[in-house]
Structure 1
């Protein structure tokens, strides 16, 4: 077996084609879903996949937000984003959200298979975050309570979750959470991180956001 894959794609024909081809080519498909909500349900209690394939434009959420939610639930598999958006800015947003690869539609199946083989070799173990993210309602929930997050707060936290234990540079966080071309002051980012620290404390999440002076932040 070449690896285990989970597929989230709302185009039913494309999703069925991907699943069929993967199985024919020796991959095991752990589960597939058409929406972010369905993906979270299917991922719960399922065998952790080696690779995630996530469509960016889902009916109920952005695939990049879904990635952060899956990461917060301990799904640490490398992620390949699928999107019809081919601009550099869109790709930067995808990688900033924690994606490992980005493939624009339409694509050749052979290219998809080669990229999956590379990502399978990177597959790590699961890492629990101590809280979960809801990509539909933009909520962070912990053992004590839950708190709503603004889209910017959500994407900042998702970027940190996706690279937990690593120092994420300030520029990378800004490109993950704000639209391309936004002018974001240093103290604006600091203010948002302070809000996230309060939110994690309020919900009882175990991790803390550490400041690495002159570089960025790290989720411990």
Structure 2
């Protein structure tokens, strides 16, 4: 999500966390292309009027570079010309502020389904060792036995299991899974998660972060 408005950004982060989704929030275009290149995202939510540039320039750069991940524009620009231009340069949907959260979620799910080209739930199943995560159904199993996780634990596990060959830093995990966590630290959530899925399922890389154990 690339959105400079603090109120909107915080509200959407809370919603995504409640829905069990991991979200990286940037407030400027700077660094956005690097994140897209380095990580796997299901979609981008893009504001247009940003402090260091225009979101349309970022969208054009993404499409020119060959990135086809779905993009949902959220903006106060409500003219027909603005909307048509957004679609012309590669937006998958265009939502005018102010908007209702349920509508944003429905539109986001729709573009992700549409751009994936499939409704097969297998596209959203991730495995590492004996752990299986069904992202679409928000279900986790260990050696075939269902495991019940909190929303934060699920978000942490999903972030790790999607990139089992990569160490995720503490900062990355905190941004994705517990941006508004109070009281419980990342270490506490990892500890609780390990108790449920096995001590060896998540490896600690000292001084850096954590990674899923294949």
Given the two structures, how large is their TM-score scaled by the length of structure 2? 0.51
Partner residue, 2:13: 19
Partner residue, 2:34: 41
Paired residues in the alignment total: 117
Q: Is residue 106 of structure 1 aligned with residue 98 of structure 2?
A: yes
Partner residue, 2:50: 58
Report the structure number with the largest CA radius of gyration.
2
Partner residue, 2:113: 121
Q: Which 5+ residue runs of structure 1 have no aligned equivalent?
A: 1-6, 126-220
Q: Distance in 2 between matches of 1:75 and 1:12?
A: 27
Q: Of 2, 8, 12, which aligns to 1:8?
A: 2
Of 15-24 and 104-113, deviating more is 15-24
Q: Which 5+ residue runs of structure 2 have no aligned equivalent?
A: 118-214
Is residue 76–residue 124 contact of structure 1 (8 Å, CA) maintained in 2? no
**RMSD (Å), alpha carbons:** 1.7
Deviation at 1:75, TM superposition (A): 2.7
For residues 72-100 of structure 1, what are the alpha-carbon distances to aligned partners after superposition, in whole Å with 9 as ceiling and x for unaligned?
Answer: 34431111101111111110111111101
Deviation at 1:62, TM superposition (A): 1.3
For residues 106-154 of structure 1, what are the alpha-carbon distances to aligned partners after superposition, in whole Å with 9 as ceiling and x for unaligned?
Answer: 11001000101101102349xxxxxxxxxxxxxxxxxxxxxxxxxxxxx
- The runs of at least 4 consecutive aligned structure 1 residues that moved more than 6 Å come to none
Q: Distance in 2 between matches of 1:59 and 1:69?
A: 18
Partner residue, 1:86: 78
Three-state SS of the structure 1 residue aligned to 2:73 is strand
Q: Distance in 2 between matches of 1:26 and 1:113?
A: 12
Deviation at 1:20, TM superposition (A): 1.6
Q: Distance in 2 between matches of 1:57 and 1:81?
A: 11
Partner residue, 1:201: none
